[in-house]
Structure 1
Amino acid sequence: MRDQSAPEGPVFGVPYVPTLGPVHPDAITPGLWEEVVANSGTGRFLPHDPAARWGGAKDGQILTGHIEAASGRVMVPTLLGRGHGLLTAHHYGPLDVDQALEDAGKLAADQGAAEARIFWLAREPHPEAGRCRRILLKTFRDVEPPPEPGRVLTLHTASAGVRGTWPGFAAAMAHTGFAALGDRMRAGGTDEPVLVTVAEGRIVGAIGPMATLPDPLGRLRLLPQYFGVLPDHRGTGNGRALWRAAMHWGRRAGADYQLLQTELGGASDRLCRSEGLSTLGFVTVITV
């Protein structure tokens, strides 16, 4: 059955809205879905869209005429660009992977997209099916563990010598997004603080940029950050020091919670679980 309406949060099962990303479970409402659909394809950002921080236009749209909802299963396709664009089929509930891949490929061809993939959103992980990420919820407490004194610095207040090592760090950690962040910083696209750890006069770990944004219900959300430590400096407390400094920043900024995604079984995943974050579900990404 094809229908541009979408089930409410409990039917979706996993708090993730196509074109918007992870959303607090309490904020998954019919009203939010209607807002997302109405905004789709306009090029505008919703006021609570975390991607709005980077400016520009909102690319991507929901293909409302191809939504499928039946028998406890939902499929919502989105299209990013055309010609060389990307078709993503977001699947909630039971999934026949082979059939889903075939259907996504056909829909991509019909829409003129060069690539296709499926997002399988489920309550349990399916790492055997492809790249799997965990959706986590951090709820801020009245008192967060304090950061280690002097261990974590703010990049823009560090010495000129330390700041001069940032491009090398960003390039070495390009796979975590720091290279893209460095490009935005050079272009004046963000002046939000980045927290760093330093060893022997050079940056060896970073988390940021630090920023907050009201969610669809008006609660303040700490936005996801790029987060990474150079391989030869892992296992020495840099990651936990950065994480706790970031959470301390968020608490002082008045954030109520943070949503983030981690690679299943990775260093950030292990750290976040040890820090008591709640698992809301899993996203398995499979390319056609």
Structure 2
Amino acid sequence: MFFRWDWLRPVLTAPIVPTLGPVHPQAMTVDLFEDTLRAAATHRSFLRYDKDRRWSSGKEEAVLRSNVVHQPGHTLIPTLTRRGGGTVKVFAYGHRDSVIDEASELATKLAATHAAANARVVRPLGPETGCPRGTRVQLQDFTARACPDPAGPVRPVTDWPTVVQETFFSFAQAMAGEGLAFLYTRMQAGRCGPVLAAAVESRIVGAIGPMEVRGDATGCLQLMPQYFAVLPEARGQGLGRLLWRAAMHWGQSHGAAYQLLQTEVSGPSDRLCQSEGLISLGFVHTTRVQLPHPVP
């Protein structure tokens, strides 16, 4: 056992685990953190409940086991991703603001050691945080209340007439910045679950998906995160809310107990989730570390 739970638990202000992201509060155990270290020992190894298994055959991010700082009052857990020139992230768990400086120093050192072009400090913050920045972690509890079918012009893409389905490509290209172009390639390859789409006048103008339910570290079923977008010219008509409620109905109907989401604080999705009564579990604030220029 590497981590001492009596050291780690008091500084876990939000349910964020390195390489895994948000997890259900009831799944936050010392074993979960130990699992990330064991996965790092096996090259590009996925944990069986890792949400990224949907997208890749190998894990891109791994904990730098030998560089973990674990002490009473604070824990620093660095990770390395090789994609895009390489990125070192240091997850900074601790209540004192000085933990940011310590994490930045470690990130700078490890970026040089691993020739990584980028370095970040990731700090989870509790739900009571005033003036939060970054992303909010939210919980949709499907066991708390019913999520009825909202009806309206929303159905799986494959249930729309062919002439409507064919408009998904142009929609996906227009919303490439929201990940829809990538999602389209997965749909064409038959490598993801259903995608729900909203259509107006025989043209797809919004979508959410893929819809997939998988077990978490405890075996509890969760609705996995989705890509979600509505064309700018189609906003303000309530289509985003219809898509969201249709997705929640799908998740509950397919046995999911909950869903975890990350939304940009004060962004459209954040305001939607807050208005729909989701539970705020905390925030994640990511800071870019300015690296020194390499010596010629």
The residue aligned with 2:89 is 88
Moved more, 33-42 or 218-227: 33-42
User: What is the root-mean-square deviation of aligned Cα atoms in Å?
Assistant: 2.1
Q: What secondary structure does 1:260 align onto? A: strand
The equivalent of 1:39 in structure 2 is 39
Tell me which moved more, 85-94 or 102-111.
Answer: 102-111
Q: Counterpart in 1 of 2:3?
A: 5
* Partner of residue 180, structure 2: 178
The equivalent of 1:73 in structure 2 is 74
Partner SS for 1:40: helix
Alignment-derived partner of residue 242 in structure 2? 241
**CA deviation profile, 1:243-281 (whole Å, cap 9, x unmatched):** 111111011101101111000000100010111111111
Segments of structure 2 that go 5 or more residues without pairing to the other structure are 290-296
Q: d(CA) in 1 for partners of 2:103 and 2:185?
A: 36
Q: Which amino acid counterpart does residue 118 of structure 1 have in structure 2?
A: V
Q: 1:83 touches 1:112 (CA, 8 Å); kept in 2? A: no
Partner of 1:201: 202
Q: CA contact under 8 A between 1:77 and 1:88: conserved in structure 2?
A: yes
- Tell me which residue corresponds to 1:113: 116
Q: Aligned equivalents of 1:27 and 1:250: distance in 2?
A: 20
TM-score (norm 2): 0.88
Q: State the alpha-carbon separation in 2 of the partners of residues 98 and 17 from structure 1.
A: 20
Residues 257, 65 of structure 1: alpha-carbon distance in 2 compared, 3 angstrom cutoff: same
- Cα deviation digits, residues 151-208 of structure 1 (max 9, x gap): 2111012111111111111111122211111122233332x10001111211111110
1:81 and 1:57 map into 2 onto residues whose CA distance is: 12
| Residue 106 (structure 2) aligns with | 103
**What SS is found at the alignment partner of 1:224?**
coil
What's 2:26 paired with?
26
The alignment's TM-score, normalised by the length of structure 1, stands at 0.91
Q: How many residues align?
A: 283
Alpha-carbon separation, structure 1, partners of 2:78 and 2:4: 12
CA shift for structure 1 position 150: 3.8
1:57 maps to a residue whose letter is: G
Structure 1 range deviating more: 96-105 or 224-233:
96-105
Aligned partners of 1:141, 1:147: CA distance in 2, in Å? 16
Match of 1:187 in 2: 189
* Contact 2:152 2:242 (8 Å CA) reproduced: no
Alpha carbons of 1:89 and 1:185: their partners in 2 closer, same or farther (altered >3 Å)? same
> Within 1, Cα distance between the matches of 2:16 and 2:190?
30
What's the % identity of the aligned pairs?
46
Amino acid at match of 2:153: R
Question: Aligned equivalents of 1:232 and 1:48: distance in 2?
Answer: 38
Paired position in structure 1 for 2:294: none
Report whether the alignment pairs 1:263 with 2:261: no
Preserved CA contact (<8 Å) 2:153 2:200: no
Would the aligned equivalents of 1:127 and 1:284 in 2 still touch at CA under 8 Å?
no
Q: CA deviation at 1:51?
A: 0.9
Further displaced range: 19-28 or 119-128: 119-128
Q: 1:149 to 1:233 in 2, by over 3 A?
A: same
Q: Is the 8 A contact 1:14 1:281 kept in 2?
A: yes
* Corresponding residue for residue 170 of structure 2: 168
